[in-house]
Amino acid sequence: MKKLYFVIALLLVASMVLAACGGAPSEADCTKADVFCVGMVTDVGKIDDKSFNQSTWEGVKQAESDLGAIVQYIETTDSKDYAKNISTFADAGYDVIVTVGFALGEATAAAAVQYPDVDFIGVDQFQAWQYDEDTTNDIANLAGLVFPEDQAGFLVGALAAQMTKSKKIGGVFGTDVVPPVWRFGEGYRAGAMYINPDIEIFIVYHSDVGFDKTFTDPEWGAATANSMIDKDADVIFGGGGKTGNGAVTAAAQRGVYAIGVDTDQYYTLPEAAPRLLSSALKLLTPGTFDLIKLAKEGSFPSGNFLGKGGYAPYHDLDAEVPAEVKAKMEEINAALLDGSLQTNVPPVKP
């Protein structure tokens, strides 16, 4: 009976991954001790979002090349399927399961309790239990990969404030219900005001729709960015999957400065690259890989694992960025890293 259950689960993984990846799934037996398997479950965004999911997947793929891992992913199309998609990998004997995004936090924590022999990596999933006094709710096989989004946002906000000629800048984001998105936006605001307290900042969050739409709406992102540009904003920061990509691309098409998010979007949004001033970085790929490697080595940490943030190079626009601006950016980055400068952005929206 147990063998039959495993075969059914393995076939289910194969069918779902076949649909997601468009290729033949691995026939490896992930229940074997010498086979190391890593599965990734996306939120409702796609694996090729040129941002959050894609950068995380590249970390999983690095585990394939560097650690010999068997890797697969499942794209979630309906938020009601979070638990089912996670269990698909867990029931097939996967060693590590990576779930991407704040919205999967509850389902990931529940799965970690249900499957104590599987290591779970929750990207952008803050583990509050690490800091309370109740040890009964600790989950030893769950690590939240979190980032200083407020610092990355602060950096590109400071850059925008120094590069704007109109003294008006904009930010277009997914829902502010997701703390990392809100921290990007409010970090951007704080960084800009650090440079110029009188700067005019347009910030809009796509909180008028559900999770199934907020990060997958490039048309809304483009329209919102264009409305800001029509009000003379000459720098636009886009953050929030394909929604943010729509804003970044629209800004580039209008000839104003664009700022990407999560990864260096100079390489993932070629249509925006000529006007991409920088990107607010969450080093998702190395953060994901580092946790997978620790899991394989038997040193998996529980609780929160802090990844690194920063800002991307200026690339094609390097010659347009004055030397004094570059020096100021390095000064701000160093101060954020050593703690002498604080963003004063709370962990979550008040």
Model confidence over 64-99: pLDDT tens digits?
Answer: 999 999 999 999 988 899 999 999 999 999 999 999
What is the residue whose two structure tokens read 């590249």? Answer: 58
Average pLDDT over residues 305-328: 96
Banded pLDDT at 176 (limits 50, 70, 90): very high
How far apart CA 11 and CA 330 sit, in angstroms, is 52
According to DSSP, the β-strands at 309-311 and 276-282 are antiparallel
Which CATH code is given to the segment(s) 2-147+285-306?
3.40.50.2300
99-145 pLDDT tens trace: 999 999 999 999 999 999 999 999 999 998 888 888 888 999 999 99
For residues 207 and 214, the answer to whether their CB atoms sit within 8 Å is: yes
Give percent of the chain above pLDDT 70: 92
Residue-level pLDDT at 10:
45
Rounded Cα–Cα distance for residues 70 and 36 (Å): 6
Q: Name 242's Cβ contacts closer than 8 Å, sequence gap at least 6.
A: 45, 46, 49, 50, 51, 215, 216, 217, 218, 221
Higher-pLDDT residue of 132, 340: 340
Q: Check whether 3 has a pLDDT greater than 50.
A: no
| pLDDT surpasses 70 at 267 | yes
pLDDT of the residue at 22: 34
Tokens matching residue 91: 């029931």
Q: What is the pLDDT of residue 29?
A: 94
Distance of CA 42 to the CA centre of its chain: 11
Q: Read out DSSP for 52-100?
A: HHHHHHHHHHHHHHHH--EEEEE--SSGGGHHHHHHHHHHTT-SEEEEE
| Sheet-wide strand order for 119-123 | 70-74, 37-41, 96-100, 119-123, 142-146, 303-306
Q: 149-282+314-338: same fold as 2-147+285-306?
A: yes
Q: Could you tell me if 216 and 44 are in contact, meaning their C-beta atoms sit under 8 angstroms apart? A: yes
Q: Specify which residues 237 forms β-bridges with.
A: 171, 259
**pLDDT at res. 81:** 94
Mean pLDDT, rounded, of the chain: 91
Per-residue pLDDT of 11-50, as tens digits, reads: 444 444 434 443 334 568 999 999 999 999 998 878 888 7
Is 124:98 a contact under the CB 8 Å cutoff? no
Q: Are 224 and 201 in contact (CB under 8 A)?
A: no
Residue 100, token pair as written in the block: 């991407």
| Model confidence pLDDT, tens digit, residues 217-263 | 999 999 999 999 999 999 999 999 999 999 999 999 999 999 999 88
Across 176-325, where does the E strand assignment appear?
A: 200-205, 235-239, 257-262, 276-282, 303-306, 309-311
> Span 149-282+314-338: which CATH code?
3.40.50.2300
The confidence score (pLDDT) of residue 45 equals 74
Write down the domain spans for the chain: 2-147+285-306, 149-282+314-338
